[in-house]
Homo-oligomer: A and B are copies of this chain.
Amino acid sequence: MVRVTVWNEYRHERRDPVVRRHYPHGMHTVLAGALAGDGGFEVTTATLDEPGHGLVDEVLDATEVLTWWGHAAHEEVADEAVERVRRRVLDGMGLVVLHSGHLSKVFRTLMGTRCMLKYRKGDRERLWVVDHGHPIAAGLPERIELGVEEMYGEPFQIPPPDEVVFVSWFSGGEVFRSGCTFRRGRGRVFYFRPGDEQYPTYHHPLIQRVVVNATRWAAPPHGPEEVVGRVAPAEAGHGR
């Protein structure tokens, strides 16, 4: 059982009737349900307006993978919480960053780049699998059709990803690297594009499947601790 915390800004759903209709109890509830339904995860949720944004040490200590959705309130996330999350990722916690989370402090800090892109509401999206052997593509068809979504277009200002799993086609003429993996320290990061709050994307079974696959992929593999700092020689007798 992989212990997952589904983090959500949870503001749009409370303020905007369109969003509330898609996600009456918040996106995090839908995503948590998809993960719980898979059977391989112990799922909790956390949101921005909880104390410590729900990202206090006790929560993070019990989190193996964190999923992140944020949009309107990136700057309200306290730097201390960002640093707590970043440290955990570097020590092995998985991180699945969703849609507008590309501009979250957590993601930008781990990437070191601007993480901006082109955007436009109300497009049609087709996600093509480009890495057919990747575990995040397990059980998928070769493409996922989203009848309406926000468009994100290149350039996506990220470092060269370790792997690109999906590339999106948009009816307005743009393309986007929609599923990208990054390793940072001992942790694994997956960025997944779809999920604008105006559309019911996270109810789509194939999108849920990607989130489930990505969460499993991001679970820590428990390699050795990283020993750094001043050390004695590995060669016995060296330097005497």
Contact = CB atoms under 8 A, between A and B. Distances in A.
A134 interface: yes
A231 interface: yes
Contacts of A114: 90, 185, 228
A237 to B, nearest CB: 10
B172 A239 contact: yes
Contacts of A92: 133
A113 B171 contact: no
B222 A138 contact: yes
Interface stretch (A12-20, A39-47, A63-71, A160-168): A160-168
Interface in A24-60: none
A185 B115 CA distance: 9
A129 B222 CA distance: 13
Given A90-B157, A220-B133, A224-B137, A229 B168 contact: no
A163 B222 CA distance: 17
Most B C-beta atoms less than 10 A away, residue of A156, A172, A232: A172
Most B C-beta atoms less than 10 A away, residue of A123, A133, A160: A133
A2 interface: no
B130 A177 contact: yes
B172 A168 contact: no
Interface of A: 86, 90, 92, 109-114, 116-120, 122-123, 126, 128-135, 137-143, 153-157, 159-160, 162-164, 167-175, 177, 182-188, 220-235, 238-239
25 contacts: A86-B112, A90-B157, A110-B113, A114-B228, A116-B229, A117-B228, A120-B230, A130-B155, A130-B175, A133-B183, A133-B185, A133-B221, A133-B223, A134-B221, A135-B221, A137-B224, A138-B222, A139-B223, A159-B182, A169-B173, A169-B175, A169-B234, A172-B233, A172-B234, A173-B238
Given A92-B133, A142-B224, A169-B169, 14 more contacts: A112-B112, A116-B229, A118-B229, A123-B233, A130-B154, A132-B185, A133-B223, A135-B223, A139-B222, A142-B226, A143-B234, A155-B226, A157-B226, A162-B162
